[in-house]
Amino acid sequence: MLVWKVFSEVLLPILVMFGAGWVLDRRCRLDLGSLVKLNIYLFVPAFIFVQIVVSDLSTGMAVRVVGFTAAIVTGMFLISAIVGRVLHYEASQTRSLQLATMFYNSGNYGVPLMALAYPVAGPVLQAFVIVAINVSTFTVGLLLAASGQAGGWRSFVPMLRQVSLWAVACALLVRGFQLPVQEWRWLWVPLEYLSDALVGIALVTLGAQISKTPPPTHFSRLGWAIGVRLLGGPLLAVALVRAFGFEGEAARIMILSSAFPTAVNTALIAHELKADPDFAASAVFASTLVSMLSVTLLIALLQLL
C-alpha cells in the first residue's frame, strides 16, 4: 500500500504529464529542438535564478549540497571507468557510459518529483543540485564528449553559451551585493512566471523526447548504464550523506536526488559532438522508464526508514 501511495501521489502525476507530451508529439510531431531550447535557454535559467535569489538556505548548506552533488558525479565517473575497464570497453564506449551515469535529470524530472515528494524543502535543495549538475554537464560533460576529437580550445566555447551558468553567476552576484531585484517588477514578475512554468513545459518536453527516441539498442552496455545510474547513485549517496552532514529530511532529499535517470542534456551533447548518440538516447529512454519503479521503491524505503 505504501508503494502504491508513493507511485500514485508522486510518480503517476509525472507519468501523466510526460505521457501527454508523448501523445501530443505522436499526433502533432512537436519540434523537439525548439522545446529543448526553451528549457535550456529560458525556463531552467529562470528557475535557477529565482530559487537561488529567494532561497533562505545558509551559504554553508548550499555549498554542502553542491559539494555532495559534485561527489556523486565524481563517484559515477570512477565507477563507470572501472566497469569499462573490467568489461574491456573501448575508450569511446567508456566515455559514453560515463556520460550516461554521471549526469542525471535533476531539472525536468527532479524538480517536479521533489515538489511532490518533499514540497517544502525539496525544490529549494534541488535548485542547488541543478546548479551543480548543469555546471558539471556543460563543463566536464562537454569536455568528456569532445575528448575523442581534436577540438583544442574550441571545446570550451559551448560552455560560454550556456545561459544556466550565467544565471548562477548573476544570482550569486544579486545575493552577494543584496540587490533588490524582487522590487524590480518589470524583471522579477516575468522571471517568476518562467520559473513556475518549468515543471509543465519540462515534463511535456521529456515526453516528446521519449516519443522521438528510437527503441533501445546496445542492451548489455545499456543494462550497466541503468544499473550504475539508478542503483549506484543512491547507494553512493547513502555512503556520503552523513559525511556531508545531512540528517533527517535533508538526508532523504539528497539520497533521492541522486537516483534520477540519465539527463536529456547528455543525449543532446552526444548528438552535437557525435559521441555515440544512439547509445546516449537509449540511456535516456530506458533509464527514465525504469526509474518509474526504482524511484517509487526508493521513496517508499526512505519513508519507512
Q: pTM for the whole thing?
A: 0.81
**Which set of grid coordinates corresponds to residue 55?**
532561497
Provide the 10 A C-beta neighbour count for residue 290: 17
**Which set of grid coordinates corresponds to residue 69?**
552533488
CATH topology (fold) of 2-304: Na+/H+ antiporter like fold (1.20.1530)
Contacts of residue 102, defined as CB under 8 A and 6 or more positions apart, other chains included, come to 73, 76, 77, 80, 136, 140, 141, 144
Provide the 10 A C-beta neighbour count for residue 178: 7
Per-residue pLDDT of the chain (305 residues; tens, 9 = 90+): 677 877 887 778 878 888 899 999 999 988 887 887 888 788 878 988 998 888 777 888 889 999 999 999 999 999 999 999 999 988 888 888 888 899 898 877 888 788 888 888 888 888 889 888 878 887 787 777 666 554 555 555 656 667 877 888 899 899 888 899 999 999 999 999 998 888 788 778 878 877 887 766 667 788 999 999 999 999 999 999 999 999 999 999 999 999 999 987 776 666 655 667 778 778 888 888 899 899 989 998 998 87
Amino acid at 285: F
Distance CA 42, CA 38 (A): 5
CB 72 within 8 Å of CB 236: yes
